[in-house]
Chain A
Amino acid sequence: MIHQEAQGYWLIVTSFLVAYVLAVLPMPQWLMWARPEWLALVLIYWVIALPHRVGMLSALVLGVMLDALEGAVLGQNAFSLVVVALLCLILYQRLRVFSVLQQAGTVFVLVGINQLVCQWVQNLEGVGSPSMVFLLPAVSSALLWPVVLQVLRRLRRHYGVS
């Protein structure tokens, strides 16, 4: 049992590392607002696929690291990712039988909630975004969901991580 738990750990960790790199990749100024929330996408996938292994405490640790990378208030992304992980843990049985389009719709809502929580903490600090433009990542993340799903699903099945 313990052997099974530890198996495939490297794949999960590597996918999150790749998500971090994509999250800080230099981008042109005009694209900055539409950067997909890579870490949230990968987290959503793993919570739906392996809810017994990736959950709210993983989201907490991942979020604090992202805060440090972004230079944000420590706890901002941790908060939003914990909320996303919680919703995924409640919804994962339904999400698994959804079609890709329905899943993309749910991802739009989940990342939107993620952005709202981030915006709320940023407003506490006084640096909130001037308009609704902070919701753009929800759109781009939903559009990218089918790709992320296919890549991670194939990798997971290929290496038999469960």
Chain B
Amino acid sequence: MGLRLLLAIFVVLSLITADLRYKRLETTRSILDMLGSPIYWLADLPLRIRDWGEVRVQSREQLLEENERLTRKNLVLQGRSQQMAALQAENVRLRGLLNSTAMLRDDVLVAELVGVSPDPVRHQLVLNKGEIDGVFVGQPLIDADGLMGQIVEVSPATSRALLITDATHSIPVQVNRNGVRAIAEGTGSLGALEIRHVSATTDIQVGDLLETSGLGGRFPGGYPVAVITEIDLDPGQMFAHIVARPSAALDRSRHVLLVFATHAPAPVDPAPAAAPIAVTPKAADDPRDE
């Protein structure tokens, strides 16, 4: 027994050290995830059967009604996206004039949730898309309402995502109204993000929408992240205490979108010619303003 105890303790301590200190166990994790995916599949089976049953027992009228509702919604969304196309073209043109990189539309892949980490202090999701679908570590994850998190582990057929509310997660954001930049940190509670190190004089209000700023290079800019719900200005503190509620339905979304950001360079032809023209009047404007 003594020998086995020593062996077990040695293995456990080296595993913890290797994982926490050196982050060297990606391959091991990927293999274990692959072995564990049938377990998640089995645990998800009751829900899946219930969903399947619900679809089967719906009456014809209900289905027709739902079909009509979805058709109407689709029409509305298509109408909006027509305008989007025009706005996007205009945006690319204006950005070309300003000599900055064009923002392109991101491609997405629909994934389904197969599991949630059973540990309440870890906000992680297991998705049914993996390496063979092109999923990569660091890939952003969104739902219909906003940003959910990012992929942290990939195995061949499944992947694991870390939510923005996990206590180990932070994300660079900016206020949609005026572009003030900040860092939103997870608190370990699904309904709250904390905005850190914002000084008391910064222009930030309850109800402001925070979106990804694109700084840091991990998340593409412009996705809604959270809405400010609480600002506490304590004169004794260096910084304001700010809490925000995530926009995405972190505990309800069953279908999520994996974003493939397209980091395209600026449109090549107009940029060199436009650059001096765009810059000169601005330089001339500056002294007059002062």
Contacts and interface: CB of A to CB of B under 8 A. Distances in A.
A32 B160 contact: no
Interface in A2-58: 17, 20-27, 29, 32-33, 35, 55-57
Given A33-B120, A56-B8, A70-B122, A78 B29 contact: no
Interface residues of B, number: 47
Secondary structure dominating the interface of A: helix
A72 B166 CA distance: 13
A74 interface: yes
B118 A24 contact: yes
Secondary structure dominating the interface of B: helix
B242 to A, nearest CB: 19
Contacts of B35: 65, 68
Contacts of A35: 118
Contacts of A127: 121-122, 166-168, 188
B47 A26 contact: yes
A124 B167 CA distance: 13
Nearest to B11: A60
A70 B117 contact: yes
Interface string B174-191: 000000000000001010
A68 B118 CA distance: 11
B121 A129 contact: yes
Contacts of B116: 26
Contacts, number: 120
B7 A57 contact: yes
A161 B8 CA distance: 26
B92 to A, nearest CB: 40
B122 A124 contact: no
Nearest to B14: A75
B112 to A, nearest CB: 13
Nearest to A51: B1
Nearest to B36: A69
A131 B89 CA distance: 52
Contacts of A27: 118
A22 B46 CA distance: 12
B131 interface: no
A24 B16 contact: no
A64 B190 CA distance: 27
Interface in A82-123: 82, 86, 89, 121-122
B32 A72 contact: no
A127 B28 CA distance: 22
A126 interface: yes
Interface in B136-173: 152-153, 160, 166-168
A57 to B, nearest CB: 6
A57 B3 CA distance: 11
Interface in B210-252: 251
Contacts of A24: 39-40, 43, 115, 118
A41 B15 CA distance: 24
B16 A121 contact: yes
Interface string B38-72: 01101110110000000000000000000000000
21 contacts: A21-B42, A22-B43, A26-B44, A26-B47, A27-B118, A35-B118, A56-B8, A65-B35, A65-B36, A68-B32, A69-B40, A71-B122, A73-B20, A74-B15, A74-B18, A74-B19, A74-B32, A79-B13, A82-B8, A82-B12, A134-B121
Given A17-B39, A60-B8, A73-B16, 17 more contacts: A21-B43, A24-B39, A25-B43, A29-B190, A56-B1, A56-B4, A63-B12, A69-B39, A71-B122, A71-B153, A72-B122, A78-B15, A79-B12, A79-B16, A124-B16, A126-B168, A134-B121
